[in-house]
Amino acid sequence: MKLNDETLRFIHEHCKDDVRNLALQAPKYPGVDMPVALTQIAGRQAAAEKIPSWYAEEGILYPRHLSLEQCSSEATARYKASIIPEFSSGTLADLTGGFGIDCAFLSPKFHHVTYVERQEVLCEIASHNFPLLALKHIRIENKDAIRHLQEMSSADWIFIDPARRDGHGGKTVAIADCEPNVAELESLLLEKAQHVMVKLSPMLDLSLAIQDLKYVQEAHIVSVNNECKELLLILGHNTVAAENIPIHCINLQMKDGRNTEPTGQFFTFTREQEQSSSNEYTDTLDKYLYEPNASILKAGAFRNVACIYKVKKLHPNSHLYTSGEPIKNFPGRSFRITGICTLNKKELKSVLGDLKKANITVRNFPSSVAELRKRIKLSEGGEVYLFATTLINEQKVLIRCEKI
């Protein structure tokens, strides 16, 4: 993809402008390839938060919106790289190269890397971008993933990110509905590589994914700022019983959108540990309230987290916990309780007072956030947090908190 000088100059001069307004001005710039320019400006603006180190490199080219929307963020790509041990040598084949974010951040761990992508335009973009990022050891193959897998030599690692959208743009959540179908390819993947990293939609049911694949060694559920982003499965040549597979729950915490190092909250458990854990229930809230992060909620480590951190659970389906003393490093959000009430008008007035706005969360409660907000007449935001939930005695309550 080669851009003329006038188009490059336009992109540079308007890199922070609204692309919708720029599109209306297209007749003023006959020498500018406006569709390409707008794609590059929109891509660069998206990269400022999603891929900050690439944003810093002005020469990077960006794909159309859908490819950029589906690609990993820099934070999750760095986390994937942290999973792979350091190699003195080694080979990686990325069978679903896409925009190349994952390939780029995985590649420093290997001496030889192959990026495979069936869309020619994405291969052209990767061919342009990788040298700018000092990644000259990546070989680019414009080829179908399955065909390349069948023909390739052995590798140490294979990375594969099956497409999670059908032909009409709808999201798919089952391995069998993704392309390529990793369950059908599992034997061939492990015939070609010692290890396989599979990136899947966070919408997938983890238990079903493990059931569909025979050689899962470990699972990683990756959230960023408490929003679940990716499900990673590591395949290998050993057979691990489903109940003994380590499940790593990660919540990467970004500061101002620029903390790209894989730091944050980490919690690991197995299904066997969860099944053998017991937790205490209480209908009496103590001084502190805890909400596990999105990865733990997705993984279902409800009893194990209570057992390890010695907190009491409010209800089997509420997934909120309480303690009398503050728990350091709890893998989630921690709050100091400042009031508790039912939805009785008098009690609400006593606990909420003249409060005008609050952050509301609903856990195992018959009303939605929108319905509750309308009922108690509070706008969004502020320093106060309200949890609407059900206690073990089935009482519906509103818990007023402040974040700690």
Q: Compute the average pLDDT of residues 382-398.
A: 98
Is the link from the previous residue into 180 a cis peptide, with omega within 30 of 0?
yes
Task: List residues bridging with 359 in a β-sheet.
Answer: 385
Please give the pLDDT value at position 221: 99
Return the sign of the alpha-carbon dihedral for residues 160, 165, 166, 168. negative
Under 8 Å between Cβ of 285 and 337: yes
pLDDT in tens, 172-197: 578 988 999 999 999 999 999 999 99
Sign of the Cα torsion 128, 129, 135, 139 reads: negative
Low-confidence winner among 3-17, 154-168, 249-263, 385-399 (lowest mean pLDDT): 249-263
Question: Which among 164, 159, 267 is positioned nearest to 221, based on CA atoms?
Answer: 267
The residue with greater pLDDT, 3 or 189, is 189
Tens-place pLDDT, residues 76-113:
999 999 999 876 579 999 999 999 999 999 999 999 99
Residues 330 and 319: their CA atoms lie apart, in Å, by 14
**More confident of the two residues 2 and 237:** 237
Cα distance between residue 179 and residue 166, in whole Å: 9
Between CA 340 and CA 390 the distance in angstroms is 12
Dihedral of CA atoms 261, 262, 264, 270 in degrees, nearest 10, equals 180
Buried b or exposed e, range 369-388, using 16+ CB within 10 angstroms = eeebbeebebeeeeebbbbb
Contacts of 336 (CB under 8 A, 6+ apart): 287, 288, 289, 401, 402, 404
- Mean pLDDT (the chain) is 93
Asked whether the beta carbons of 265 and 241 are under 8 A apart, the reply is: no
CA distance 380 to 373: 8
Main-chain phi, psi angles of 401, to 5 degrees? -140, 165
- β-bridge partners, 87: none
Check residue 72 and report its DSSP letter. Answer: P
| φ, ψ (nearest 5 deg) of residue 46 | -65, -35
Cβ neighbours of residue 88 closer than 8 Å, sequence gap 6 or more: none
Please state the pTM of the whole predicted model: 0.92
Token output for 217: 């060694």
Predicted pLDDT of residue 166? 58
Using alpha carbons, select from 35, 63, 34, 36 the residue that is nearest to residue 47: 63
**Nearest by Cα to 38 from 62, 54, 71:** 62
Strand-pairing partners, residue 163, are: 179
Alpha-carbon span 144 to 49, nearest angstrom: 31
Among candidates 117, 106, 119, which has minimal Cα distance to 140? 117
3-state class of 332 per DSSP? Answer: strand
Q: What is the C-alpha end-to-end distance of the chain, expressed in Å?
A: 50
List, for residues 140-157, the tens digit of each pLDDT value.
Answer: 999 999 999 999 999 999
Q: Tell me the per-residue pLDDT of 37-79, one tens digit each, with 9 for 90 and over.
A: 999 999 999 999 899 999 999 899 999 876 677 789 999 999 9
